[in-house]
Homo-oligomer: A and B are copies of this chain.
Amino acid sequence: MHHKIKDKIDRLKNLSYLYSQLNSIQKIDMKRKVTLKQIAKELDVSISTVSKSLRDSPEISEDTRQKVQAFAKLYNYKPNNIALSLKNKKTKTICIIIPEIIHHFFATVISGVEHVANENGYNVLVCLSDESFDKEVINMEMLAGGSIDGFIMSLSKETQQRRDFHHITEVINQGMPVVMFDRVTNDILCDKVIIDDNLAAYNATRFFINKGYKKIALITTVDYVSVGKLRTDGYTKAMMDHDLKVDPNLILKIEDTDNFDAQIEALIRDQKPEAIFAVNEIFAVTAIKIAGKLGLKIPTDISIIGFTDGIISKYSTPSISTVSQNGVKMGEKAAKMLIDRLENEEMEIEEHYKTEVIETALVERESTR
């Protein structure tokens, strides 16, 4: 008796199975994402069975497994990442916060981050602080709400000026790992990736000194930008180490990054330096253009070294010697450190933070001899 009933049910199941096969297009709205529940309903099995079938669980018979998998493929089933994130408490997404993306250096860092992130199955969310403290805070607070697994960031100018890092400590205290790069601060304990700005500037300055130059000018940023300060210090130390006086008139600290041509022109015209060390590409290329305008030959009349081996330095005429700062490598390293911490979070070896220093090199081109 039981058998008879069961047979009937089975036949009905097969019938409904075939029916659903034939009318699948009407029954499931192809426009929307298909879920386990829908497949389960169509096939008249439970959600668990569908899930297990798709994950090749040994609990499921060969028969139903194939049936489910065929259906899933037919409907182009893809598991819902959000649901998985909620369950696993992992989003497989990391966020990189940078001041500006149109700076070539930051673009190369993103490139590095993206590549190792992708290799490890992570996605990269990009946030721009626009050098604004508020945007940095807003972004971090927003994303800290479970949207991502960790941060990679470079401080905005305003944040460095204010020395207010509460948003970062807060995130770290909630157990979310943070890796800082380039523009970092000692006030925060976390993994960091930097270059030795001080040493790199020292070496560049010494390069000039070894050529016999005495009047070496420096075009730098205001001191609250951490890397600017470090590079200024390196320049100063190199001068002093070699018994050259540090002439304040030869040091130009630029605040307004939009309008500084006149200042550089005044520096070159009035001080007539033999060499210029600029802490970024834009300052360097501008100095070159102005020197040319003033009738100076490069590098015979004046030599110039920039910082950040970007696209401008390479394609400028004359091409610019620079301290190369490998953004890709920094990004890769930062991503590696972050992912390491995420994957090994069971070990919970907190407070064992590392600071990686990426090596720099002086790339000699046409602006020096």
Contact = CB atoms under 8 A, between A and B. Distances in A.
A79 B145 contact: yes
Contacts of A135: 118
A268 to B, nearest CB: 15
Number of copies of this protein chain within its complex: 2
A289 interface: yes
A355 interface: no
Contacts of A282: 315
A85 interface: yes
A32 B175 contact: yes
Contacts of A110: 101, 126
Contact of A31 (B101, B125, B173, B315): B173
Interface in A100-150: 100-102, 104, 107-108, 110-111, 114-115, 118, 123-128, 135, 141-147
Most buried by B among A85, A91, A315: A315
A292 B127 CA distance: 41
B85 A31 contact: no
Interface in A140-186: 141-147, 170, 173-175
Nearest to A176: B33
Contacts of A80: 86, 145-146
A252 to B, nearest CB: 19
Given A76-B170, A82-B146, A128-B114, A289 B311 contact: no
Contacts of A108: 102
A126 B317 CA distance: 33
A348 to B, nearest CB: 10
A41 B222 CA distance: 52
B147 A126 contact: no
Contact of A128 (B93, B111, B173, B316): B111
Nearest to A281: B315
A289 B312 contact: no
Nearest to A135: B118
B316 A93 contact: no
Most buried by B among A104, A118, A289, A311: A311
Contacts of A33: 146, 174-175
A43 to B, nearest CB: 21
A289 B315 CA distance: 8
A67 B86 CA distance: 28
A216 to B, nearest CB: 23
A32 B144 CA distance: 11
Most buried by B among A126, A170, A174: A126
A118 to B, nearest CB: 8
Contact of A315 (B102, B107, B146, B316): B316
A114 B31 CA distance: 28
A263 B276 CA distance: 35
A345 to B, nearest CB: 11
Contacts of A114: 101, 126-128
Contacts of A312: 311-312, 315
A128 B96 CA distance: 15
Contact of A145 (B78, B175, B286): B78
5 contacts: A81-B146, A82-B91, A101-B110, A102-B104, A312-B312
Given A83-B86, A102-B311, 6 more contacts: A101-B107, A111-B128, A125-B126, A311-B312, A315-B316, A316-B316
